Amino acid sequence: MTLSIATAREQPGLAEKASGLAANVWPEYNKHGDVLNEFWARLESEFGDFQFVLYDDEDDSILAQGHSIPLSWDGTPGGLPNGIDGLVRGAFELREAGREPSTLSALAIEILPAHQGKGLSARMIDAMRSIAKANGLSNVIAPVRPSWKERYPLAAIERYARWTRADGLPFDPWIRTHIRLGGEILRPEPESLRITGTVAEWEEWTTMRFPESGTYVFPHGLAPLMIDRESDHGSYWEPNVWMLHPLA
């Protein structure tokens, strides 16, 4: 197996072939971001140089897909966008204003379940570094979705991000992977991705019932869900942890 990276602009056919990959990676509720879904379908057409796939040269089979977007960032934790929602909206506004970006931000790394645990995440992060350099950008940042946070949905992300193992490395496996690849934590982001829907939608997304108004934890959720049956509304803020991958 010989693995290669191609952007959506370089190989639009491969990018189209990978379009269904997310269905095998993300929990259903996570596909319904209020702001993210306004812009997601425009990523390949308007930011094709920053969407890419990892594929097998021998048969063009897709192993993983990466999404990223260029933004303007002043290099300080305080200057980071307000989560994924602020990142995406700001990046499109920057493009529409004709202003130059300075930094590349990851949006998602999607590795097919059959190929997870094989070290491909390192290859995908390296690809983002290469894309950033090729486009004259100075850093790579990422609003990391902690993989074990779903086990501790009631713990504030500010505390969770500080948890460590006995060896001093981060408790969370995905944050730990970023650290091992040269990343560093910039700040936790408690309100990164906003997802709202009707009670029926949330029941479908989570395969749960919500008999009364209140706060609920649900499978794969990183934080509690607020249900208001009177207004037929469920609201959720997904937390993330901002991390930096310097290019120097």
pLDDT digits (tens, 9 = 90+) for 199-212: 999 999 999 999 99
Boundaries of every domain in the chain: 3-191+241-246
Residue 187 has φ and ψ, to the nearest 5°, of: -170, 150
Question: In the predicted model, what is the mean pLDDT of residues 81-92?
Answer: 98
pTM of the model: 0.94
With a cut of 70, say whether residue 11 has pLDDT above it. Answer: yes
Burial class for 97, CB neighbours closer than 10 Å (0-12, 13-18, 19+):
exposed
- Give the whole-number percent of the chain exceeding pLDDT 90: 85
Residue 240 has φ and ψ, to the nearest 5°, of: -140, 175
**Per-residue model confidence (pLDDT) at position 188:** 98
Angle CA 70–73–74, to nearest 5: 155
pLDDT tens digit sequence for 213-238: 999 999 999 999 999 999 999 999 99
How far is the C-alpha of 106 from the C-alpha of 75, rounded, in Å?
15
CATH superfamily name and code, 3-191+241-246 = Gcn5-related N-acetyltransferase (GNAT) (3.40.630.30)
Predicted confidence band at 177 (pLDDT cuts at 50, 70, 90)?
A: very high
Q: Which value, in Å, is the radius of gyration of the alpha carbons in the chain?
A: 18
The residue among 24 and 238 whose pLDDT is bigger is: 238
